[in-house]
């Protein structure tokens, strides 16, 4: 947007816009046989930013998320974290580099309580002992849920007894345990009621306030435009436009998703592909 | 722990436990006794005893419910005769609050909204959130007596229509109250957000000691509410106090309303964020507030300049109305004196110095809840309590 006339634009940069993004994917290719899941896909995420990825079914949204999460390895392309080329060879490698992911199926254990789910596979032990440090884990669990603003009455409730929204909150809170810098959320508001969606959107805003970079994959353009700083459209595995979350209209996004609008880079990628 | 409790005594312990349980119940709207044990960390026996005590003193209510197929006791805050819903439709968020006839907020929920959100989607989500909140406290739609909604646009309260075209795109000519009322089968009142904010601040908040209160709501747009002699002054079709559309720059940008150089084009969210793009990148209004409060000079400057611009416009309004106090609310007011000090200075500079009662500028006391509390108050004001008591009593009798 161009600033209206008469408004002073001379403000000395005090917090300079970071030039190096937290995460940068360049020219990512990934094929499954004849299926081109990603063709020359690009993505940048900065700290303190919510980047939404939207697109039709099979546009490559989830594949991109899996590449960032370290679940899938790209056939070609460059992944940089803090400007340094990295290999995300496995989910744990990605986690070590500060990327935490919540997949659509959440991967929570219904028979365990909230605290156990938060620390699943990363249980804290008492110093010099094999015993679990339950006290410390509960303290951390309470803190993380509070940071997120989650309404979960008891951290000792079994997951099976929580609502869909509360389970999503636990899954998001779990990402905060490893002190991540990038959180990937794959369709976190799918099949939630409006009240639960509201809670999840507030959680995502809180992640942003905590200074994290968030990748938010969704079908719902209202949810996306409500919280995203930037919206990236994928179409047939290629980038088809990047929009400011504040200025994009539903019409712009739908045009890009359905192909009524073709970004230049999309056409180029298509010719190359 | 505050208050005069002797630390460590039996009494202070019981008091603290009571407070913990009440706080938990209020935070979640409704909890079962088992969930209360988890959320407070108290023993099941203590929770049971205290819930009994609180029930007999009329602070909480217990009703049967079920949790994962098992019978349980849902504990909620005791409600006084029927429930009211207050809705604030903001530029970028929706807030729905459920209150009772004691004026107490029992449960609330916010939802971030996209910019230029559509009428149909937003009203649909509002209706669903209302039902969701009622469910959360174990209540039904029958207990709801009415809904009041605050909109960020001038509203003609007699017809419930937005009285100026273009301020809320896509909401013009839509009878919001009728649409909602038809959907939920309850009476619905619609008013301007700053008006409702003023109503709440003047009766419950910072304007309480005064008869004439000017309330300024500085958020994504700027608006003001006017309470004179304890009564809300809306003007003939609701445009009183629309200071956001007073011209401040004859050469300025064209405003959404169609005029040129309105205050909104200088201190509205878009105008505040635009000069920061080059130095700070794309920020949200909330980012600017947070950074300003953390001492970032660029963001501080933007907030202070906004205070000055608003103060200059307020001077003529305040000169015309001579209120005792100006209460400042909305998101921008969270920065406190950073906004208020330049506003106060500019306001006093632009009007007659009243020796007997110099005008003061104070922050709002109800914060982000002012608008919904004003909405709740509107429902209570417009509903005949005695009638509702009778009706509720009769239905309860019939149920038995």
The upper half-sphere exposure of residue B267, i.e. CA atoms within 13 Å in the direction of its Cβ, equals 31
Distances (CA, A) of B276 to A86, B45, B299, B333, B337: 33, 57, 8, 19, 21
- Tell me the percentage of chain A whose pLDDT exceeds 90: 50
Query: Which pLDDT score, from 0 to 100, does residue A11 have?
Result: 42
Sheet architecture: strand order including B60-67: B30-32, B70-77, B60-67
CA distance B234 to chain A (A): 31
Q: Quick check: A161 contacting B, CB < 8 Å? A: yes
> In this prediction, what percent of chain B has a pLDDT beyond 70?
93
Mean pLDDT rounded to a whole number for chain B: 88
CB distance B366 to B200 below 8 Å: yes
Q: What residue ranges in chain B does DSSP mark as E strands?
A: 30-32, 60-67, 70-77, 83-89, 93-100, 105-112, 144-151, 155-156, 161-162, 188-192, 213-218, 222-228, 231-232, 325-329, 360-363
Task: Decide if A4 and B121 are in contact by the 8 Å CB cutoff.
Answer: no
- Is A247 touching B (CB cutoff 8 A)? yes
% of residues, chain B, pLDDT over 90: 59
Taking one residue from A and the other from B, the number of pairs with CB-CB distance under 8 angstroms is 132
Element containing residue A238 per DSSP (H, E): strand A238-244
pLDDT at residue A259 in the model = 87
pLDDT, position B1: 40
For B13-58, the pLDDT digits (tens) are: 888 888 888 888 877 778 888 888 888 888 999 999 999 998 888 8
Cα torsion for A141, A160, B96, B86, to the nearest 10°? -120
B108: closest chain A residue by CA: A195
In this structure, the dihedral spanned by the alpha carbons of residues B190, B193, B194 and B198, taken in order and rounded to 10 degrees, is 70
Position B6 scores a pLDDT of: 52
* DSSP code for B254: B
Name which of B20, B33, B38, B248 to mutate to probe chain A: the one with the most chain A Cβ atoms within 10 A of its Cβ. B38
pLDDT score at B376? 93
Of A123-132, B12-21, B105-114, B123-132, where does mean pLDDT reach its minimum? A123-132
DSSP state letter for A3: P
pLDDT of residue B248: 94
CATH numbers and ranges of domains, chain B: 14-77 (1.10.10.10), 83-195+371-399 (3.30.420.40), 208-365 (3.30.420.40)
Q: Enter the tokens of residue B303.
A: 């907030």
Q: Supply A149's token pair.
A: 């603003």
* pLDDT given at position A272: 63
Assess contact for A179 and A122: CB atoms under 8 A: no
pLDDT band at A273 (very low <50, low <70, confident <90, very high): low
For A199, residues 6+ apart whose C-beta sits below 8 A from its C-beta are A150, A151, A165, A169, B109
pTM (2 decimals)?
Answer: 0.84
Mean pLDDT in residue range A82-111: 89
Q: Does A197 touch chain B (CB under 8 A)?
A: yes
User: Which of B96-105, B187-196, B375-384 has the highest average model confidence (pLDDT)?
Assistant: B187-196
Contact flag A4-B253 (C-beta cutoff 8 Å): yes
A15 in reach of chain B (CB within 8 A): yes
How would residue B385 be classed by pLDDT, with cut points 50, 70 and 90? low
The answer, for B70 touching chain A at a CB cutoff of 8 Å, is: no
Per-residue pLDDT band at A157 (split at 50, 70, 90): confident
Indicate whether this complex's ipTM tops 0.90: no
CA distance to A29, A38, B377, per residue, from A35 (Å): 11, 9, 60
A268 conformational bin, left if phi > 0, alpha if psi -120 to 50, beta if neither: alpha
Q: Which of A26-35, A194-203, B8-17, B266-275 has the lowest average pLDDT?
A: B8-17
| Over residues B90-102, mean pLDDT | 91
Which among B128, B282, B287 has CB closest to A194?
B128
- Hey, what domains does chain A have and what are their CATH numbers? 23-109+164-272 (3.40.50.300)
Comparing CB atoms, the residue among B38, B266, B276 nearest residue A153 is B38
Confidence of residue B102 (pLDDT cuts 50, 70, 90): confident
């Amino acid at each position: 947007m161009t600033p209206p006339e008469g408004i002073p634009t001379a403000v000395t940069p005090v917090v300079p816009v970071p030039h190096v993004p937290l995460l940068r994917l360049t020219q990512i290719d990934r094929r499954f046989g004849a299926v081109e899941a990603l063709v020359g896909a690009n993505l940048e995420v900065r700290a303190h930013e919510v980047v939404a990825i939207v697109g039709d079914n099979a546009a490559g949204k989830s594949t991109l998320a899996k590449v960032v999460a370290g679940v899938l390895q790209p056939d070609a392309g460059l992944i940089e974290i803090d400007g340094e080329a990295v290999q995300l060879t496995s989910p744990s490698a990605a986690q070590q580099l500060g990327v935490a992911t919540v997949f659509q199926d959440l991967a929570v254990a219904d028979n365990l309580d909230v605290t156990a789910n938060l620390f699943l596979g990363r249980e804290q032990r008492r110093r010099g002992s094999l015993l679990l440090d339950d006290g410390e884990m509960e303290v951390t669990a309470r803190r993380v849920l509070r940071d997120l603003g989650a309404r979960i009455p008891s951290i000792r409730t079994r997951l099976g007894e929580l609502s869909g929204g509360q389970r999503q909150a636990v899954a998001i809170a779990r990402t905060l345990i490893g002190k991540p810098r990038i959180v990937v959320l794959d369709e976190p508001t799918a099949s939630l009621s409006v009240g639960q969606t509201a809670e999840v959107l507030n959680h995502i805003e809180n992640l942003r306030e905590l200074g994290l970079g968030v990748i938010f994959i969704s079908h719902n353009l209202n949810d996306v435009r409500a919280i995203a700083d930037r919206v990236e459209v994928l179409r047939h595995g290629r980038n088809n436009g990047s929009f400011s979350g504040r200025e994009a209209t539903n019409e712009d996004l739908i045009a890009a998703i359905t192909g009524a609008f073709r970004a230049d880079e999309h056409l180029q990628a298509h010719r190359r592909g | 722990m505050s208050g005069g409790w002797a630390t460590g005594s039996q009494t202070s312990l019981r008091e603290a436990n009571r407070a913990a349980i009440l706080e938990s119940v209020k935070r979640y709207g409704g909890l079962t006794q088992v969930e209360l044990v988890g959320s407070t960390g108290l023993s099941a026996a203590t929770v049971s005893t205290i819930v009994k005590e609180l029930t007999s003193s009329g602070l909480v209510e217990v009703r049967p419910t079920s949790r994962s197929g098992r019978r349980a006791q849902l504990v909620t805050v005791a409600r006084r005769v029927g429930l009211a819903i207050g809705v604030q439709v903001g530029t970028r968020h929706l807030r729905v609050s459920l209150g009772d006839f004691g004026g107490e907020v029992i449960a609330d929920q916010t939802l971030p909204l996209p910019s230029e959100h559509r009428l149909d989607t937003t009203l649909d989500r509002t209706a669903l959130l209302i039902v969701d909140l009622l469910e959360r406290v174990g209540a039904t739609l029958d207990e709801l007596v009415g809904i009041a909604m605050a909109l960020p646009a001038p509203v003609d309260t007699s017809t419930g229509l937005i009285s100026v075209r273009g301020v809320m795109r896509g909401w013009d000519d839509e009878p919001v109250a009728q649409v909602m009322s038809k959907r939920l089968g309850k009476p619905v009142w619609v008013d301007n957000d700053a008006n409702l904010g003023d109503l709440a601040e003047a009766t419950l908040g910072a304007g309480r000691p005064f008869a004439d209160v000017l309330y300024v709501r500085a958020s994504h747009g700027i608006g003001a509410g006017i309470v004179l002699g304890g009564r809300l002054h809306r003007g003939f079709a609701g445009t009183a106090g629309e200071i956001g559309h007073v011209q401040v720059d004859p050469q300025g940008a064209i405003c959404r309303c169609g005029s040129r150089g309105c205050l909104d084009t200088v201190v509205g969210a878009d105008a505040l964020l635009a000069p920061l793009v080059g130095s700070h990148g794309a920020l949200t209004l909330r980012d600017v507030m947070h950074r300003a409060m953390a001492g970032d000079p660029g963001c501080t400057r933007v907030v202070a300049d906004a205070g000055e611009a608003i103060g200059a416009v307020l001077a003529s309004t305040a000169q015309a109305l001579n209120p005792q106090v100006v209460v400042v609310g909305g998101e921008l007011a969270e920065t406190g004196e950073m906004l208020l000090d330049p506003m106060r200075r500019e306001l006093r500079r632009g009007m007659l110095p009243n020796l007997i009662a110099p005008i003061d500028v104070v922050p709002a006391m109800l914060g982000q809840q002012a608008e919904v509390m004003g909405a709740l108050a509107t429902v209570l004001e417009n509903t005949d309590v005695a009638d509702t008591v009778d009706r509720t009593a009769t239905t309860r009798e019939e149920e038995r």
